[in-house]
Amino acid sequence: MFPISTVAKRFGLSRSTLLYYDRLKLVRPTYRTAAGYRLYSTEDEARLKQICRFRETGLSLAAIKLLLEGDAPARSLVSDALHKRLTELNHEIAALRRQQQVVLNLLPRKGQDRLARAMTKAKWMALLHSLGLSDAEMIQWHVAFERQSPLAHQDFLESLGLPEMEILRIRNHSDPRKGNR
């Protein structure tokens, strides 16, 4: 059995967070001392570990409670919730990339490279050319990227700040199913 302070420290949480989780019936200590102190079992810690992992994904406490106590088969419920969250994250990341591009376009060109953690098309092409890749080899690189991970290829092209029509052209040209090599 572990007291609340030990469990809180072990998981990097505050004592008040564990008390809050107890009130929400997310994780409740298995035992209490005669003086009313909470004592957590290894099973309680395992449940808290699950809660913390789900919190890292950005799921709400209400969603986590449903995942842990829902009537639907747990595996399917967890998978559906995580797929939904992944889709949300992809949309948020795309929106942040667009916002980053707007900010970069508003800043004076001088000094942008030091501030931005973004790769531009020009920087990317210069990097590949410095490695000795020809234009034909760069096309093959895109073909391989599209074949292995089409959605990641889309994300990468978006991260370069390319217009939608150029992304569509590159992906169509790179799609091995279309034979446009």
Domain of 105 in residue numbering reads as: 74-117
CATH code of 47's domain: 1.10.1660.10
pLDDT in the model for residue 178: 66
Q: Which residues lie closer than 8 Å to 119 by C-beta, 6 or more apart?
A: 159, 160
Asked if residue 168 and residue 123 are part of one domain, the reply reads: yes
Transcribe the chain into DSSP letters: -EEHHHHHHHHT--HHHHHHHHHTTSS--SEE-TT--EEE-HHHHHHHHHHHHHHHTT--HHHHHHHHH-SS-HHHHHHHHHHHHHHHHHHHHHHHHHHHHHHHHHS-STTHHHH-----HHHHHHHHHHTT--HHHHHHHHHHHHHH-HHHHHHHHHHTT--HHHHHHHHHHH-GGGT--
Query: Which of 148, 138, 155, 137 has its CA nearest to residue 176?
Result: 148
Asked if residue 175 and residue 126 are part of one domain, the reply reads: yes
Contact 14, 8 (CB under 8 A): yes
pLDDT in the model for residue 181: 44
Tens of pLDDT, residue by residue over 20-68, are: 999 999 999 999 988 989 999 999 999 999 999 989 988 888 888 888 8
Asked if residue 133 and residue 106 are part of one domain, the reply reads: no
pLDDT in the model for residue 80: 81
Mean pLDDT score of the chain, rounded to an integer?
Answer: 85
pLDDT in the model for residue 180: 52
Beta strand spans in the chain (E):
2-3, 31-32, 38-40
| pTM listed for this prediction | 0.57
Asked if residue 124 and residue 113 are part of one domain, the reply reads: no
Asked if residue 11 and residue 66 are part of one domain, the reply reads: yes
Question: Six-digit token pair at 66?
Answer: 């449903």
Q: Is the pLDDT of residue 75 over 70?
A: no
pLDDT in the model for residue 8: 93
Q: Which residues lie closer than 8 Å to 73 by C-beta, 6 or more apart?
A: none
Q: Is the pLDDT of residue 130 over 90?
A: yes
* The most confident of 23-32, 67-76, 83-92, 109-118, by mean pLDDT: 23-32
Tens of pLDDT, residue by residue over 93-110, are: 888 888 887 887 787 766
pLDDT in the model for residue 174: 84
pLDDT in the model for residue 48: 95
Asked if residue 44 and residue 88 are part of one domain, the reply reads: no
Task: Please report which confidence band the pLDDT of residue 13 belongs to, taking 50, 70 and 90 as the band edges.
Answer: very high
How many structural domains does the chain have? 3
